[in-house]
Amino acid sequence: MDILQRAVAPTPRFFKKLRLIGLILTAASGVFVGGNLASGSLLEIIKYIASAGAVLTAVSQVTVDEKALEEKEERKVSGG
């Protein structure tokens, strides 16, 4: 299974929640960095939070729910 197939495959519920958390962290960090609302060491911490959020989102997106994927394939084969 290549990366594109993994990206569109069903994602487990737990990782959907993690993906949402990652998106929120990245968006909130972008607000602080883009709006010049932080400076110095706080800005560095916010940049790390943005990176962590982006990685969390990416990893969560390519995690596959094997059981749901098998059920989807069975429905495709059976024509239903």
Q: In this predicted model, what pLDDT tens digit does every residue of 6-53 receive, in sequence order?
A: 888 889 999 999 999 999 999 999 998 888 888 889 999 999 999 999
Please spell the DSSP secondary structure of the chain, one letter per residue. --HHHHHHS---HHHHHHHHHHHHHHHHHHHHHHTT---THHHHHHHHHHHHHHHHHHHHHT---HHHHHHHHHHHHHT-
pLDDT of residue 8: 87
Q: What is the pTM of this model?
A: 0.80
pLDDT of residue 80: 59
Mean pLDDT, range 64-72, rounded to an integer = 88
